């Protein structure tokens, strides 16, 4: 299952990005541009920072996320992860995915993957630029990449006890993810004190999540639905991301 420190970035990013659920009608949702910055820790030990930004690029929407290890972790396991989503301004907010690219550099391991979406043909092309692997994937209607699904879900109304299902493609296999709204809670993070809704995405257990549950995200209980905290159990301890600032 891997060392929990080595997996902190993908764990924290998944916590941040699989956030929101609810029922109609839609909330006002995120604003563009928006930039969120996070402090990442593993069982109380600072291990890095993460950023996520959404931008208007005329006829398209661009979402960029990154995560980097701090000096302590970088001495023996440097991490520099980056993803980018490009969306057409068609359909539900934030739009229809045109392309998704991830470049993860973690220690000596590099992952360079791309997904090209063809919604009119109801399929996508998965490309692994490291090993040359390719796969044609059938799509369900309104299938999002993992990052745009986050913004789509934040745009929905949230109500404790309700769930929302979203179609996501982040590899060679599409997934239909249930996201539950658990409760309301007031919390304090470096960016301030917030009334929040606590969300649990029902992610498939794999890798560091194998045999685990308990991924929780705290979203502001207002029309912005800002993820201010995320936490999940890992093989040893837990990983936590807290909002430190940004422009929102």
Mean pLDDT, the chain, as a whole number?
Answer: 84
Looking at 16-30, 105-119, 177-191, which range is the least confident one? 16-30
Among 64, 61, 62, which residue's Cα sits nearest to residue 50?
64
Beta strand pairing call for 175-189 and 60-69: unpaired
69-120: per-residue pLDDT in tens? 999 889 988 989 999 999 999 988 899 999 999 999 989 999 999 999 999 9
pLDDT tens-place string over residues 38-62:
999 988 899 999 999 999 999 899 9
Of 103-107, 222-226, 231-235, 239-243, where does mean pLDDT reach its minimum? 231-235
Q: Of the ranges 49-53, 199-203, 238-242, which one carries the lowest mean pLDDT score? A: 199-203
pLDDT of residue 234: 73
What pLDDT is stored for residue 174 in this prediction? 93
Which is more confidently placed, 10 or 93? 93
One-character DSSP codes across 185-247: EEEEETTEEEEEEEEEE-PPP-GGGTT----EEEEESSTT--EEEEEEE-SSSEEEEEEEEEE
Question: Whole-model pTM?
Answer: 0.82
Mean pLDDT of 146-166: 88
Backbone φ and ψ for 235, nearest 5 degrees, come out as: -55, -40
Confidence of residue 207 (pLDDT cuts 50, 70, 90): very low
pLDDT, average across residues 198-203: 85
């Amino acid at each position: 299952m891997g060392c929990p420190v080595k997996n902190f970035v993908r764990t924290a990013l998944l916590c941040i990005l699989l956030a929101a659920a609810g029922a109609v009608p839609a909330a006002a949702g995120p604003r563009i541009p928006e930039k969120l910055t996070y402090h990442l820790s593993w069982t109380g030990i600072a291990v890095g920072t993460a950023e996520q930004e959404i931008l208007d690029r005329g006829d398209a929407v661009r979402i960029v996320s990154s995560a980097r290890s701090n000096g302590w972790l970088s001495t023996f396991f440097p991490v520099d992860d980056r993803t980018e989503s490009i969306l057409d301004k068609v359909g539900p907010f934030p739009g229809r995915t045109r392309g998704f690219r991830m470049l993860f550099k973690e220690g000596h391991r590099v992952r360079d993957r791309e997904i090209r979406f063809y919604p009119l043909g109801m399929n996508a092309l998965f490309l692994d630029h490291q090993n040359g692997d390719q796969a044609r994937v059938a799509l369900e209607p309104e299938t999002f990449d993992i990052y745009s699904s986050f913004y789509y879900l934040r745009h929905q109304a949230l109500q404790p006890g309700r769930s929302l299902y979203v179609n996501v493609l982040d590899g060679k296999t599409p997934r239909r993810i249930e996201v539950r709204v658990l409760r309301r809670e007031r919390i304090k993070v470096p960016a301030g004190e917030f009334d929040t809704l606590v969300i649990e995405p029902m992610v498939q257990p794999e890798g560091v999540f194998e045999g685990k549950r308990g991924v929780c995200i705290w979203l502001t209980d207002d029309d912005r639905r800002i993820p201010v905290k995320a936490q999940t159990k890992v093989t040893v301890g837990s990983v936590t991301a807290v909002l430190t600032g940004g422009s929102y």
